């Protein structure tokens, strides 16, 4: 019954948005439509939170058991995706709508991968408002502080009990985005830039940072794989083990901790690597 209720207010929300609000007030402004869609999508989440936050019932979707948040998210995506595609096709807005999400120019080798647009990078390269983050001391502090935060705060979230996790996890997620933003500003978005926005020297530094970031990420993945292998060997050594099945259980805070730890590093590693390249370069020049 709860599943049908969620589907009902998602359908009502989308009907109002696509049959009245977008055609009447947004028209063919695809950029405004993209921003308004964030607010429109928030209505079903708000209703679900009000109805199910405290009771936290189990929802079933195609035999999978989910909580209210993920059921609302997946159901909203499954219902809205075809409606959005039909709406864009009917108004001949498909190319224009999807083009705004491409940070790199069409045909660029970085298309689909760049996390900053040419315009944003060019603006940042000439922007002096964040110069306080670009001194060697500030870069060193950001590099150390972001790593200490991701490791320490994730460990804290991992060990939270059921009645503690909500508020602190939200604070943890907020600071993940804060450090991500500060790191990007410190390197002037160069680590996330498409090659069309960079000269030869900056492009070389960006590419070097990605090699370093890949090595760090590979080391982390290798460490996780080794830890998993060690875990299975230790479980197999127990007399009660059948040597084939392994039971691994996670709490919601532990899932959140691992997810945001991984997402944080995936988003920040290029900027972290570029900071380390800058610091080594400045140190080498100072030594000379």
Tens digits of pLDDT across the chain (288 residues): 788 999 999 999 999 999 999 999 888 888 788 888 888 888 998 899 888 888 888 888 888 888 888 899 999 999 999 999 999 999 998 887 877 677 777 778 887 778 888 888 988 999 899 999 999 999 999 999 999 999 999 999 888 876 666 678 888 999 999 999 999 999 999 999 999 899 999 999 999 999 999 999 999 999 999 999 998 888 888 777 777 778 778 887 888 889 999 999 999 999 999 999 999 887 777 654
Spatial CA neighbour of 69 closest among 25, 130, 6? 6
Task: Provide the residue range defining the domain that includes 124.
Answer: 118-287
Q: Which residues contact 155 (CB under 8 A, 6 or more apart)?
A: 257
Phi, psi of 229 (to 5 degrees): -65, -45
End-to-end CA distance of the chain: 72
Q: Are residues 149 and 234 in the same domain?
A: yes
Q: How many domains does the chain have?
A: 2
Rg (CA), the chain: 23
Q: Is this structure's pTM higher than 0.75?
A: no
- 109 assigned to some structural domain: no
Q: 204-218: per-residue pLDDT in tens?
A: 999 999 999 999 999
Q: Which residues contact 179 (CB under 8 A, 6 or more apart)?
A: 142, 145, 146, 149, 150, 264, 268
Q: Are residues 83 and 140 in the same domain?
A: no
Instruction: Give the bridge partners for 66, in sequence order.
Output: 59
| The CA-based dihedral angle spanning residues 260, 53, 75, 154, taken in that order and rounded to the nearest 10 degrees | 10
- 112 assigned to some structural domain: no
d(CA 55, CA 67): 10
Q: Are residues 163 and 220 in the same domain?
A: yes
Q: Are residues 176 and 264 in the same domain?
A: yes
Q: Are residues 163 and 31 in the same domain?
A: no
Q: Are residues 267 and 131 in the same domain?
A: yes
Helix (H, G, I), strand (E, B) or coil at 226: helix
Q: Are residues 75 and 134 in the same domain?
A: no
């Amino acid at each position: 019954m709860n599943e049908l209720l969620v589907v009902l207010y998602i359908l009502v929300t989308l009907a109002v948005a696509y049959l009245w609000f977008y055609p009447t007030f947004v028209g063919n402004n695809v950029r405004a439509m993209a921003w308004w869609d964030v607010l429109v999508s928030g209505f079903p989440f708000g209703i679900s939170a009000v109805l199910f936050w405290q009771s936290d019932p189990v929802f079933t979707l195609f035999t999978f058991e989910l909580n209210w948040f993920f059921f609302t998210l997946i159901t909203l995506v499954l219902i809205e995706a075809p409606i959005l595609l039909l709406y864009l096709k009917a108004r001949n807005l498909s190319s224009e709508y999807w083009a705004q999400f491409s940070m790199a120019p069409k045909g660029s080798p970085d298309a689909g991968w760049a996390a900053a647009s040419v315009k944003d990078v060019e603006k940042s390269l000439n922007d002096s408002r964040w110069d306080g983050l670009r001194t060697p001391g500030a870069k060193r502090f950001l590099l150390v502080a972001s790593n200490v935060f991701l490791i320490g705060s994730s460990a804290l979230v991992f060990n939270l009990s059921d009645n503690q996790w909500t508020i602190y996890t939200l604070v943890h997620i907020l600071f993940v985005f804060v450090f991500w933003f500060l790191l990007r500003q410190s390197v002037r978005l160069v680590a996330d830039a498409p090659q069309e926005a960079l000269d030869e020297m900056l492009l070389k530094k960006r590419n070097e940072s990605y090699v370093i970031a890949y090595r760090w990420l590979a080391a982390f993945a290798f460490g996780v794989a080794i830890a998993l292998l060690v875990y299975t060997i230790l479980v197999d050594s127990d007399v009660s083990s059948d040597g084939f099945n392994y039971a691994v259980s996670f709490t919601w805070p532990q899932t959140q901790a691992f997810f945001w730890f991984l997402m944080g590093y995936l988003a920040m590693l290029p900027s972290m690597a570029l900071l380390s390249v800058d610091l080594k370069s400045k140190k080498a020049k100072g030594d000379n």
